[in-house]
């Protein structure tokens, strides 16, 4: 169930397109160029943040007008998303300052599991200089204990300076809008049952505690927004971009998560909508842009979620006044269903027991060690007495602790899921849908994405019952414990 990208043999280093693996000619001297960054060594269970220079890029000045991200194995096959996925990738230009966080290098492209593509309207481009130094911040997530090698693929439409297609091109800069703007790992949690009518919108009131409103940006000079699309995680429903001017607020664009996933808003089988080609919004200096992200909170919690909208702003050109004209209209999805998303999971799995029917396991063992991708007590894959749910009394806790995986860069979580939580693993199963919500955070010493803690205690106020959980990072890891009078 994997798509294949066709790769040509690498072109010579001296060519303007550099280390491209495929080049296609477009109108007016523009080129569609495919680059592969890597090979990247992916360790068992990897879920770490890495920074690397991007040397796979054009070697001449010009304009980027479209970016399409992907991951491939060395042979060009696209990994199944439930095996390996791009948790996020951020493309940075070290030679420029970021518009919304001037202390950071310019963040000009981001993609996550949903593989949102960026496309600027005709006549607008991101000016890339041959001398610009580029960096990739990536978090590639190996959901399995199997090591592998991958390429990060970025395919761009590039208009070389001086070509016919570059004539009249308007330079466009990225405006990185983010509900947790500035963070290396800008996440927030969505708890099941919070929000209104099953929908939770972040930021919530008071979340920035009177500090900087991270989801806002004051427009620093007049310009025209020409494109945007959102980035969300599973469970996400939409991101919104708004503008405030003299006390009035106008909606600019809602990027909607369109789920191909049969189970609904629970997986990466989704595409975001982007702005229509003719969406152009004139902004004034002093306008306040803001973004928000809305998630479904009826079915599950969504831990470590994101809400990002990279908007593109030209210095001039035609555009509408959003306070006079309605600009918030639906846009097209940035891509269709992707075949790498076809393993949904959730089918009966005869290899996993229903832990509610298992006999009692260890009596108040105190600790459950986490090592070699296993909960050493109560893991549904263990079988035998160690696989039976360890038992505690009301008021007591179990402490889950790392017993070696952290040193190998493998981080786990203990995340409640609805019992029996024993169905097949896929992109839509399991999810954090336990009737009682508990969550350890990502246990590990690398902060972020981990919390820095290497152990976690279960809540001590649980009623009698059998509690099931999984690891969000390696969802084939399932376990249970029991509270008994
Ligand atoms: Cu894990």
Q: How far is the CA of 395 from the centre of ligand 1 (A)?
A: 27
- Tell me the CA–centroid distance for residue 347 and ligand 1, in Å: 21
412 CA to middle of ligand 1, Å?
3
d(C-alpha 119, C-alpha 110), whole Å: 12
Give the model confidence (pLDDT) of 178-228 as tens digits.
999 998 889 999 999 999 999 999 999 999 998 999 999 999 999 999 999
Residue 8 has pLDDT above 60, yes or no: no
Four-CA torsion 358, 361, 366, 370, nearest 10 degrees? -70
pLDDT at 111: 85
Of the chain, the percentage scoring pLDDT greater than 70 comes to: 97
**In this model, does residue 340 exceed pLDDT 70?**
yes
Alpha carbon of 434 to ligand 1 centroid (Å): 18
Distance, CA 472 to ligand 1 centroid (Å)? 7
From the CA of 455, how far away is ligand 1's center (Å)? 13
Q: Ligand 1 centre and the CA of 47: distance in Å?
A: 9
| Residue 445 binned pLDDT confidence (cut-offs 50, 70, 90) | very high
Instruction: State in Å: Cα 186 to ligand 1 middle.
Output: 21
What separation in Å is there between the alpha carbon of 142 and the centre of ligand 1? 10
- What's the pLDDT at 216? 98
Burial of 260 (0-12, 13-18, 19+ CB in 10 A): middle
Say what the pLDDT of residue 407 is: 94
CA of 480 to the centre of ligand 1 (A): 15
The pLDDT assigned to 310 comes to 96
Across the range 421-445, mean pLDDT stands at 96
Query: How many angstroms is it from 191 CA to the middle of ligand 1?
Result: 20
Q: What is the pLDDT of residue 184?
A: 81
Ligand 1 centroid from CA 440, angstroms: 11
Distance 382 CA to ligand 1 centre (A): 15
Categorize the per-residue pLDDT at 2 as very low, low, confident or very high, splitting at 50, 70 and 90.
very low
Q: pLDDT for 166-178, tens place per residue?
A: 999 999 999 999 9
Report the separation in Å between the CA atom of 454 and the middle of ligand 1, taken as the mean of its atom positions: 13
The chain-wide mean pLDDT, for the chain, equals 94
Task: Measure 376 CA to ligand 1 centroid, in angstroms.
Answer: 12
Residue 203 tokens, joined: 């930021």
Q: Is a pLDDT exceeding 90 seen at residue 88?
A: no
What confidence category does residue 11 fall into, taking pLDDT thresholds of 50, 70 and 90? very low
Asked if the bond preceding 145 is cis, omega within 30° of 0, the reply is no
Residue 64 CA to ligand 1 centre (angstroms)? 38
- Separation of 304 CA from ligand 1 center, angstroms? 15
Cα–Cα distance list, 473 to 266, 298, 307, 373, 461 (Å): 15, 22, 20, 10, 26
Residue 12: pLDDT band (50, 70, 90) is very low
Cα(441) to centroid(ligand 1), Å: 11
Q: What angle do CA 450, 454, 457 make, to 5 degrees?
A: 110
CA 127 to ligand 1 centroid distance, Å: 41
d(CA 32, CA 20): 10
Cβ within 8 Å of residue 354, ≥6 positions away = 419, 420, 422
Strand partners, 228: 311
Q: What is the whole-number distance in angstroms between the Cα of residue 26 and the centre of ligand 1?
A: 45
Query: What would the DSSP string read from start to end of 276-317?
Result: -TT--EEE-TT-EEEEEEEEE-SS-BEEEE-EEEEEEEESSS
Ligand 1 centroid distance, CA of 337 (Å): 28
pLDDT above 90: percentage of residues in the chain: 88
Q: What residues are neighbours of ligand 1 (ion), with CB under 5 Å?
A: 412, 471, 473-474, 477
Choice among 221-225, 360-364, 448-452, 472-476 with the minimum mean pLDDT? 448-452
Find the 3 Cα to ligand 1 centroid distance in Å: 27
Asked if 150 and 84 touch (Cβ cutoff 8 Å), the reply is: yes
Instruction: Report the range of poorest mean pLDDT among 6-10, 89-93, 332-336.
Output: 6-10
- 368 CA from centroid of ligand 1 (Å): 14
DSSP H stretches of helix in 363-414: none
Pick from 229, 215, 228, 240: nearest CA to 312:
228
The pLDDT-based confidence of 277 (bands split at 50, 70, 90) is very high
Compute the distance from residue 410 Cα to the ligand 1 centre, in Å. Answer: 7
- 255's tokens: 């990027």
Which 3 state secondary structure label does DSSP give 202?
strand
Contact 323, 191 (CB under 8 A): no
Mean pLDDT of 256-276: 96
Q: Does residue 3 surpass a pLDDT of 60?
A: no
pLDDT of residue 7: 47
C-alpha–C-alpha distance, residues 110 and 360, integer Å: 47
Whether 6 has a pLDDT exceeding 50, the answer reads no
pLDDT value, residue 9: 47
**Among residues 335, 344, 343, 5, which one has the least CA distance to residue 150?**
5
In this prediction, residue 4 carries a pLDDT of 45
């Amino acid at each position: 169930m994997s798509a294949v990208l066709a790769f040509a043999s690498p072109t010579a280093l001296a060519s303007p397109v550099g280390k491209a693996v495929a080049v296609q000619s477009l109108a007016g001297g523009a080129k569609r160029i495919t680059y592969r960054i890597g090979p990247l060594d992916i360790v068992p269970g990897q879920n770490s943040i890495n920074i690397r220079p991007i040397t796979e890029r054009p070697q001449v000045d010009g304009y980027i007008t479209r970016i399409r991200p992907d991951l491939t194995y060395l042979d060009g096959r696209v990994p199944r998303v439930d095996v390996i996925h791009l948790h996020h990738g951020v493309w940075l230009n070290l030679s420029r300052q970021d518009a919304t966080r001037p202390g950071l290098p310019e963040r000009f492209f981001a993609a996550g599991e949903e593989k949102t593509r960026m496309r600027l309207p005709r006549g607008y481009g991101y000016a890339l200089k041959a001398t610009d130094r580029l960096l990739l911040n990536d978090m590639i997530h190996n959901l399995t204990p199997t090591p592998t090698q991958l390429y990060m693929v970025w395919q761009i439409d590039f208009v070389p300076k001086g070509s016919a297609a570059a004539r009249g091109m308007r330079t466009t800069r990225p405006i990185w809008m983010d509900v947790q703007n500035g963070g290396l790992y800008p996440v927030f949690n969505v708890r099941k049952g919070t929000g209104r009518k099953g929908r939770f919108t972040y930021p919530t009131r008071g979340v920035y505690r009177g500090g900087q409103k991270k989801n806002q940006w004051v427009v620093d000079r007049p310009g025209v927004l020409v494109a945007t699309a959102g980035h969300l995680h599973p469970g996400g429903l939409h991101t919104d971009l708004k503008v405030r001017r003299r006390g009035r607020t106008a909606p600019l664009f809602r990027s909607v998560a369109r789920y191909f996933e049969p189970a609904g808003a629970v997986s990466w089988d989704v595409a975001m909508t982007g702005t229509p080609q003719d969406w152009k919004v004139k902004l004034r200096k002093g306008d306040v842009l803001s973004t928000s992200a809305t998630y479904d909170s009826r079915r599950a919690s969504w831990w470590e979620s994101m809400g990002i909208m990279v908007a593109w702003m030209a210095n001039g050109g035609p555009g509408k006044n959003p306070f006079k004209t309605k600009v918030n209209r639906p846009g097209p999805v940035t891509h269709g269903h992707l075949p790498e998303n076809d393993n949904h999971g959730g089918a009966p799995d005869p290899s996993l027991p229903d832990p509610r029917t298992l006999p009692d396991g260890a009596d108040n063992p105190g600790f459950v060690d986490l090592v070699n991708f296993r909960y050493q007590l109560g893991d549904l894959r263990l079988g035998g007495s160690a696989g039976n749910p360890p038992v505690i009394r009301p008021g007591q806790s179990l402490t889950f602790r790392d017993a070696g995986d952290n040193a190998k860069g493998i981080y786990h979580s203990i995340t409640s899921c609805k019992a029996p939580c024993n169905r097949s693993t896929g992109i839509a199963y399991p999810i954090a849908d336990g009737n009682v919500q508990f969550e350890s955070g990502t246990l590990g010493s690398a902060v972020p994405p981990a919390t820095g803690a290497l152990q976690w205690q279960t809540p001590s106020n649980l009623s009698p019952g059998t509690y099931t959980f999984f690891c969000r990072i390696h969802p084939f890891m399932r376990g249970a414990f029991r509270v008994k009078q």
